[in-house]
Structure formats: structure tokens, C-alpha cells
Amino acid sequence: MASSFFLLLFLSFSLVCSLVSTKHSVTWTYGINYGRIADNLPAPESVVTLLKAAKVNHIRIYDADHGVLTAFNGSGIEVIVGLPNGYLKEMSTGEDRAMNWVKENVQAFLPGTQIRGIAVGNEILGGSDMELWEVLLPAARNIYGAVYRLGLKEIVQVSSPHSEAVFANSYPPSACIFKPDVVPFMKPLLQLFSQIGSPFYINAYPFLAYKNDPQHIDINYALFKDNRGIYDAKTKLHYDNMFEAQVDAAYSALEKAGFNKMEVIVSETGWASRGDPDEAGATVKNARTYNRHLRKRLIKKKGTPLRPKIPVRAYVFALFNENSKPGPTSERNFGLFKPDGSIAYDIGFTGLVPSSHPLSLLRILQLRDG
């Protein structure tokens, strides 16, 4: 009897260890952002087919659209959903509202749709809406509270993506710190994420850094091509590409803020194949070069010079070009695929149809299904 008890205890302990190990193990490094501000995109069901053909198993969407989440049911593709900025004030005012949102937009689709994270807002801190700065933390806290009470905390991670605007300085990487006006809002947010085991999401774009200062930034350094790189005298580390330098800059800022064990995940990165006339480097050739080298680098599951044992994980922006985006960046193209399912340019994906094929993705699928 005693031996049976200890055997059961051992098996239970092993199961717990297995679950913990699985939760914290790195099984992926390459994901794609699936933005949908466009009027010419294929149906979500066709997008699932496209992603499977490309062997992409991790995506991030910017809302919790029920049609999209239903389409991904049974696909095996892991999804991060977004709580849009417009919902933050509502979610911050009461736990019941956050509970209803999580029930309707996350729990209702589990386990068939593998929702693995909730991105609370996008690029709030460092932005111009100070009211959203105030409500980001309580919104994130209430969303996590709902996730916890529903018993989903081992499945669904809660975090919030930030832009480079939260940093006061990022060159060299070791000098990076959070802006003084951001710190009072960022630090308690990081404390929450540290307590619940969430990563730090950063939208890291060498393209944006280069276009803002093309006279002083070597484009080869931004594009992963051969270059002299930079040397960080404080850490005695050498960087041969800006992407890794941006990731390590985030690690340095976190370390100075007291969160040196928090993982950095790149929630957005990419290169524009077309931009406004004043946007240096926005060409198909550069976009192909950046994204091809980035994909090869991520597949190797390597760390950075500062965190060599933590493989870099990133979501590339974006799956498609979004032709209905408002504002000054509406002319930018970041898409890896065209709406018909063909590749926008070659980085190693095959797409569902050749780039010159006259048939639409939807028609191809109709023919394929008989």
C-alpha cells in the first residue's frame, strides 16, 4: 500500500515537472503577424491553408475576431489574440468586464483553437495618449485575473507589446534605459509580468531605425549582410546586425529596471518593400534580404550576444499587405504573401500558387476541394 502511494506521488510529481518544463521550453522561434486592415484578403480558412503550406505554426492577431478564431480551430497553429487599445479603459474599470471578455473571446474557443496569449493593447507607453498610459496596468491586471480565475493561467500568457519609443537610448545596447517619464508606468507593469511569468514584448524594426538616420547607419548592418558591425565597450560584445542589438538593448533596459530574468520576445519586426518617398531603404530587394536572413537566423534557435542561451523568438510583420490602413504609413507594404496566396518575394516560402498564377487563392482551394 505504501509503495503504491509513493508511486502515485512520484508520477504526480513527474507530471507537474513535465507541465512546467513544457510551459517554459522553447519549441518555436518564428511566427507571423496576421493583420487584417484590408479589403482584399482571403478568408481566414484559406489563411490557415496558406500557413500550413508555409509550415508556420505561430501567429499573432490584433483582436479576437470570432471568424478568425473559428477558422483556426483544429489547425494546430498557436495564436496570440489582441485586446485592442480601444478596450483598455473598459477592461481597467472592473474585473467583471474583463472576465466577460476572456470568456467570450478566449475560453469559448479553447481547446480547439490553441490560443496561447493575450496581448493587452499595442504600443501604449511612449505614445501620445496619456489616458491609455494610466489604464494599461489595471487592464492587464484584470485580464490576467480573469485568466487565473478561469483556470487558464498555464495555457494563456498575458503581456503587452511596446515600441522602441519606451527607450531613452539604445546605442550601444548596454546603454539602453527606459525613458524617465515611462518608468513610473513601466515598472509596475513589469512587476506584474514578472510575478506571472510573462515575457517583455518589443516591436523591433531595424527598418525604422535606418530610415530615420540613413546617413549614420550602415544598411548592411540593418540587413544582416556583411559589415563591420559595432562593438559595445561596456559588455565587450560585438554585434554584426542591428536586430540582435535591439533585442539586447531591451535586455539591458530590463536589467537596469531590476528585471534581468525576464525574457524578451520580438512581437513585431520586418522590412517595408514599399514606403513613402522619404523612407530610405523601402525596396523589395531590401525586404527580401532582411526577411530571408531573419528567418534563417531564427530557425537556428540561437541566442543573442548578451543572452546566448535564450533563443530569440519573433513575430514577423506581416502576413499580407494591408491596403486600408489609415494615416501617414498607409503606403507601406510589409506583406510576405499576396492575397492570392503567392509569395510577395522569395525568402524560402513556396506559397500556394506561383506568383504569376492568374487564379485567386479562393479559386485554387475550390478546385482543390473538387
Do the Cβ atoms of 249 and 167 come closer than 8 Å? yes
- In b/e form, how buried is each residue of 126-164, taking b as 16+ CB within 10 angstroms? bbeeeebbebbbbbbbbbbbbbeebebbebbbbbbbbbb
Q: Are strands 237-239 and 230-232 parallel, antiparallel or unpaired?
A: antiparallel
- In b/e form, how buried is each residue of 29-61, taking b as 16+ CB within 10 angstroms? bbbbbbbbeeeebbebbbbbbbbeebebbbbbb
Tell me which residues are annotated as active site: 123, 268
What residue type is 215 in one-letter code? Q
Q: Which of 30, 78, 66, 71 is nearest to 47 (CA)?
A: 71
Q: What cell does 225 get?
A: 549582410
CA angle, 252 as apex, 246 and 254 as ends, to 5°? Answer: 110
**Alpha helices for the chain (secondary structure H):** 2-24, 44-54, 66-71, 88-93, 95-105, 130-149, 183-196, 206-212, 219-222, 242-256, 284-299, 361-368
- In b/e form, how buried is each residue of 227-240, taking b as 16+ CB within 10 angstroms? beebebeeeebebb
